[in-house]
Copies of this chain bind each other. A is one copy, B any other.
Amino acid sequence: MRIVSLAGGIGGARFLRGLRAAAPDAEITVIGNTGDDITLFGLRVCPDLDTVMYTLGGGIDEEQGWGRAGESHTVKAELAAYGMEPQWFGLGDKDFATHIVRTQMLDAGYPLSAVTEALCARWQPGVRLIPMTDDRAETHVIIEDERGRRAIHFQEWWVRLRASIPARQIALVGAEQAKPAPGVIEAIGAADVVVLPPSNPVVSIGTILQIPGIRDALEEKTVVGVSPIIGGAPVRGMADACLTAIGVETTAQAVLELYGARLLDGWLVAEEDAGVRLDGVRVQARPLLMTDLDATTAIARAALELAG
């Protein structure tokens, strides 16, 4: 069986661990979100790709959900001693090495997809991880504060401001010009089923869907989604702040409608959201909390079963 999954960061990565366990013999291709990417201290940082890679490769800080286990922060402290900004983004010493390798390879002319493959050669995530695009397309957020209306990088809004200032608009800058990375459209075309993890529907899955060609390719396939909203609240993270920004309610029903029946064939919701429905989409309710690997594997198995 060939499975394609789109993934953001923490939630997506944890779901993928369950998906891998639910379908141990499947070829799984993960199309990773790179809208969160940012250049810090001259180094290219791809938070979502790394979270997937570290999580599936056994290197993740389990409690935090991102970054490396047993991490130290010497480089960051030294950069601060030099007065270097920003200091609000958490970069550990082990993590720095990943960004140094990536930046060196990008500067040498390798596309991000080739760099990601090279990094994964060490981590052996058990899936094929491809960035949504090799082109630069970063999410920016329009906010309005005492300094007026302005656009800031998604990471500044998400990490520094903790989404505390309402987003007036969320835009993937460069989306129109971006092309799917090599292998993305081919993997979707060859897939028996596509699974959308309970990642952020706006700045993770929604970002991937904005890369020209990806949504069209997905609409031809059997796509099953796992709701990231349980009983009106995000499973984790601040998806509500993102949904509000694009005028969508924080409900499993609203996210189902956001994705729509052209994209989705099945929608897995939590038991408290059993009433959700949309013409053309099979909805099934079951426990959706990814409390441990067994629970997550059961969710992934249910998603595959819903695909038929």
Please list the residues of chain A having a beta carbon within 8 angstroms of any beta carbon in chain B: 41-43, 72, 74-75, 78-79, 81-84, 93-94, 96-98, 100-101, 103-104, 107, 119, 122
Partner of A101, one of B74, B82, B98: B82
CB-CB nearest in chain B for A97? B78
| B42→A82 contact, CB < 8 A | no
- Minimum CB–CB distance from A53 to chain B (whole Å) comes to 12
- Minimum CB–CB distance from A162 to chain B (whole Å) comes to 26
CB-CB nearest in chain B for A74? B93
In the complex where A83-B122, A122-B81 touch, is A75 in contact with B93 (Cβ < 8 A)? Answer: yes
- Minimum CB–CB distance from A307 to chain B (whole Å) comes to 36
| B122→A97 contact, CB < 8 A | no
In the complex where A82-B101, A100-B79, A107-B42 touch, is A93 in contact with B72 (Cβ < 8 A)? Answer: yes
Closest 9 pairs between A and B when the two form their complex, measured CB to CB: A78-B97, A42-B104, A74-B93, A75-B97, A79-B97, A82-B101, A78-B94, A41-B100, A93-B93
| A75→B104 contact, CB < 8 A | no
Interface centre among A41, A78, A96, A122 (most CB of B within 10 A): A78
A104: chain B residues within 8 A (beta carbon):
41-42, 84
CA distance A42 to B101 in the complex (A): 8
CA distance A41 to B100 in the complex (A): 7
A101: chain B residues within 8 A (beta carbon):
41, 79, 82, 84
| B100→A42 contact, CB < 8 A | yes
A78: chain B residues within 8 A (beta carbon):
93-94, 96-98
| A97→B72 contact, CB < 8 A | no
CA distance A93 to B100 in the complex (A): 12
